[in-house]
Amino acid sequence: MNTIPNIQPFNEIYYKDCFYNSVISVVDHFSGSRYPILSNDILFYRLSDSTDPCSLQIVYQDADSLGQVLERTGLTARTIDRCERLIDDIAASINAGCPVVIWVDCYYESIRRDTYNKIHWGHTLLLYGIDLDNRQCAIIEHQNRMNLNYRPHIVGFDDILRPYQGYLKVFYQAKFPTFFAFSKNTDIPQLEPERRRRVERERLIGHMHTYGSLIQQGLDDLRKAVDLTYNWYMAAGQQEIAMWIESLNKIVNGKFIERYRCKMLGLGEDILQLQQNSLEVLKKIRAVVARAYYSGNKLYDGLIFSSLHNFYELEQRTYQKLCAVKPLTDVR
C-alpha cells in the first residue's frame, strides 16, 4: 500500500465538526499552523423558538472563507463538487503526497456499527493510503459518533465508494465541494509559529469586537432560555428531556472549543478559569438532567435552576472579559 507518512488522528477535541478534525490532522502533517482555524469562528447562542429552551444552540459564524483560512495555515486544497472518478482521483492525489478528505454517508459505511444500515449521517473521511491491487484504502475514522476516538483503519474500495455515493444521493448541495486534496502552499511565505499565534490572537479579539452585537444578542437568548426552563421542565416528557440533553451536549462541546482555542491562543488565565467554571456548572446541569431522564423520576430539582442562573452569569462575565482583552503592543 502506498501511504503518506506521519498522518495522525486529531483527538484533542471535537472541533466544530468532523471536517475540521480531518483538516487539523492534515495541517499537522504539513507542519502548518492550527491557529488560523481556531481564530476564525465566532460562537454565540441562538434561541430559535422563544417558547422552547431545547431550541437554544451554539452557532458557529465563519469570519473568513475556508480558502482564506487554509492560506494562513500554510495549505491549499484542490476541490471537486461531485467526483465522478473517485478512486482515480484519490490515487492520483495520494501518489502526489496529497491527503484527501471526502464527505460520506455513514449509513453505508460497514465499519461504523453505530450507523451502518441504521442512520444517515453526513461525515468526513481522511484518506492517506491506497492499494490498487488489493482495492483498499488507509483512512482515519472513528467508530462512534458519540465518542472522540479517531484512529487508522484499512477499508475496501466499497467502503469508500458506497458511502461517498450515498452522501451525494442524500446530502449533496450544489456547488459545495465533497472532495478535498490538500498540499502545502509554497506560493505564500508563512509566519514563524509564535508570530502566527500572536497575529491570530489579535484576529480573534478583533472578531469579538466586530461581532459584539451578535454575541450580546446570544447572551440575551441564553437568559431567555434560562427563564423559560422551570415551567417547561416541569411539564416536559421523556422525549423533550432527551432533546434537552442533546442540546446540552452540543453546548458543552462548544464550551470545550472556546476554552481550547483561548488556551492555545494565550488569552489569559483569568479567562480560562472563568470558562472552566462555566463548563463545570454546565456539566453538572447535564448530569442532573440525564439522571432524571434515565431514572424516569423527574422530580423538581432546585439545583438545575440555580445552576442555570449561575451558568448565565459566568457566561456574561466571560464575554465581558474577552471583549475587554487589550491588543498586544507588538504582533510583528
pLDDT band at 310 (very low <50, low <70, confident <90, very high): very high
Q: What is the pLDDT of residues 95-127, one digit of tens each?
A: 999 999 999 999 999 999 999 999 999 999 999
Q: Looking at this protein, which amino acid is placed at residue 187?
A: D
Residue 42 confidence (pLDDT): 93
**Domain 2-31+75-184 CATH class label:** alpha beta
How sure is the predictor about 301, in pLDDT bands with cuts at 50, 70 and 90?
low
Grid cell 483527538 in the structure block, residue:
11
pLDDT band at 145 (very low <50, low <70, confident <90, very high): confident
Mean model confidence pLDDT for the chain? 93
Domain ranges of the chain: 2-31+75-184, 193-323
Q: pLDDT tens digits, residue range 190-202?
A: 899 999 999 999 9
pLDDT tens digit sequence for 158-179 = 999 999 999 999 999 888 999 9
Please tell me the least confidently modeled range out of 174-183, 226-235, 311-320: 226-235
- Report the range of poorest mean pLDDT among 8-17, 145-154, 290-299: 290-299
Q: Where residue 298 falls among pLDDT bands split at 50, 70, 90?
A: low
Residue 325 has pLDDT above 90, yes or no: no
Over residues 68-72, mean pLDDT: 95
The residues near 39 (Cβ < 8 Å, ≥ 6 apart) are: 63, 200, 201, 203, 204, 207, 261, 265
The alpha carbon dihedral of 9, 70, 213, 198 has a sign of positive
Task: Quote the CA–CA distance of 128 and 29 in Å, as a whole number.
Answer: 11
104 phi and psi, to 5 degrees? Answer: -140, 165
pLDDT greater than 90 at residue 299: no
| Residue 324: per-residue pLDDT | 85
Q: Is the pLDDT of residue 296 over 80?
A: no
The residue to which cell 450544489 is assigned: 174
Question: CATH classification of 193-323, choosing from 1.10.10.10, 1.20.120.340, 2.170.8.10, 3.30.450.70?
Answer: 1.20.120.340
